[in-house]
Amino acid sequence: MAINNINTTLNGLNTKSTSTKSVKSEESSSSSSTSGTKTAGKDTVKLTDQALSLSQLEQKISEASDTNTSKVDSIKAAIMDGSYQINSDSIAKKLMNSETALFGN
C-alpha cells in the first residue's frame, strides 16, 4: 500500500536525521575537549524595567495569602450565632452572569 511506503520512507528519514545530530554533537564535544586552552565567553542577560517589575509583582503574589481570614472568621461567627443571611436573589444573579460570560446569551 502507498501509505505504508510513505510511513516507511518517513521513518527512514527520521533515523537519518537523528544519526547526523549525534555525529555533530560528538564532533563538537571532541573539538572542545582538544582545545582545553580556550576559555568560554561570558554571556550576560539584561532584563528590562518592565520584566523586573513583573518579577517583583509575581513574588508578592506568591507570598500573599489566598484567603481573607477576617472575612472568613466573621462569616463563621455569623453562621454559629444564626445571624448569617443568605441572599438567594444575589446568588442567582451572579450564577446567571457567570453563565452568560462563559456561554453567551
pLDDT reading at 14 higher than 70: no
Residue 37: the pLDDT is: 58
DSSP string over 15-72: HHHHHHHHHHHHHHHHHHHH-TT--PPPP-----HHHHHHHHHHHHHHHS-SS-HHHH
What average pLDDT does range 7-22 have in this prediction? 49
**All 3 cell numbers of residue 1?**
500500500
pTM over 0.85: no
Write out pLDDT tens, residues 18-76: 444 444 444 455 444 455 556 678 899 888 999 999 999 999 988 887 888 899 999 99
Residue 18: the pLDDT is: 45
**Domain regions of the chain by residue span:** 72-105
Residue 57: the pLDDT is: 92
